[in-house]
Each structure stands twice: as C-alpha cells, then as structure tokens.
Amino acid sequence: MCSALSRLVIERPGYSRPVFATPAPKAPSVTGGAPWLLTPGDRPGRPRLPVRRGIPGAVLFDRDGTLIHDVPYNGDPARVRLIPHARAAVDAVREWGVPVGVVTNQSGVARGLLTPGAVEAVRRRVEELLGPFDIWAVCPHGPADGCGCRKPAPGLIHAACAALGTAPHRAVVLGDIGADLAAARAAGAQGVLVPNEVTRPEEIADATRTAPDLLTAVRGLPTRAGGAP
C-alpha cells in the first residue's frame, strides 16, 4: 500500500519536479518550509529574446485578484474565471520573449481547507485558459508558520527568479494588493498595482506605479533597450 506521502506527489511528464496529483491528501506538514516550485521540464519552449538592458528579465503575476477572480480558498477548477484582459496581457509578455510566472499565497493548504491536489487542479485550469507559465511559485504556509515565502515576504519572487535564471531587480511583479508590492520591494523587483474592489485606498496611495487594468499595466512596461523597468 502506498504511503500518504507517496500518494501526495507524483512525477508528471513535462515537468522537471514533482507536482501534486489531483486526488491527494492533505500535506503532512508545511510549517516553516520552502515554496512549491512547478517548472516546465521537457515541454517544448518558445524562442526567447536575448537579454537586453531595459527589458524585464521576468514578469511575475499574482494569481487571485490579478489573473483570475478571487474565490477564497478555491480548489474547484470550475470556479476559475479570468480577470478581463488577462489572456491578452500574458500573451503580450510572451510575445517579447520574456518569461512569465505566477507567485501566489495559498494558505488554505496550511489551514486544512485545500489539498495540494486541489491547488494543482486550479493551476491546470488556469493554464488551460492562459497558456503555460514558465514558473509557478506557491506558498502553502499560514501567517504564523514562519516561512520566508508568504507575501509580503520576498521568498516567492527570489525563488521564481532563481528558477528562471534572472536577477530579482530585473523582474516585474503585477498584483492587486499591497502585499504583492511589498514582496516586490523586499526582493528588489519592480511592482505594479492593478487595483480592484478589494484594494485598500492606502495601498493605492502607497504604490509607486498603478494601472487601471492588467493589459494597461503590461503595455506600460519597457520593451526596448534603453528603458528602465
């Protein structure tokens, strides 16, 4: 009989690290651990532009409230709905040849409200709607777990940039709340706030850069040498 841990993670073709199976039990422990990193393995890649000054080294998107509508502790792929312009925004970055990633807090795992398999099922649905991302960095910890990856800590951004082979100061983080921008600042990355109905006025006032929607935020990023991200 398989142990709980062996049922928890499986090797999925196309990924270089273990990813979580859709039917999976609650993780044995997430306290104080590292983020989950899901990276493409032998999946055919797209051509990338050579690294040039002024071009972002990576664009990292928050998930809930930025790419998809925020459904608290959602583990149901059927409830995934895209934010307007999300597909156009992600595709615009891909057209530059810049890596795209997702950095997301999923404390529902630590709280016992989500299984790793549910997080993986939602990830698969997001990629069905938006296409494949170059990296997913997921924090499964709760606020009291003492990890260094839960936003506003910078760990997710550091981990995603390391996996993509780019320096954090060359990354751009797009999010909808102050914790996203605080994580970007702590990592040395640029942050752009795309407010929605849950964004607090003080978060908007504190943001260095804001945009009315995700596509406008992406179109405002530098795409030519000589720009300054």
Which active-site residues does the annotation give? 62, 64
Torsion angles phi and psi, residue 105, rounded to 5: -80, 130
Query: Which residue spans within the chain are E strands per DSSP?
Result: 9-10, 19-20, 36-38, 58-61, 100-105, 135-139, 171-175, 190-193
Identify whether the C-beta of residue 4 lies closer than 8 Å to the C-beta of residue 28.
yes
Q: Which residue, among 12, 31, 23, has the nearest Cα to 136 in the 3D structure?
A: 12
Whole-number Å distance between alpha carbons of 154 and 148:
7
What angle separates helix 178-187 from helix 155-164, to the nearest 10 degrees? 60
Identify whether the C-beta of residue 157 lies closer than 8 Å to the C-beta of residue 189.
yes
The structure tokens 């910078």 sit at 154
3 state DSSP class of 217: helix
Q: Residue 162 corresponds to which amino acid?
A: A
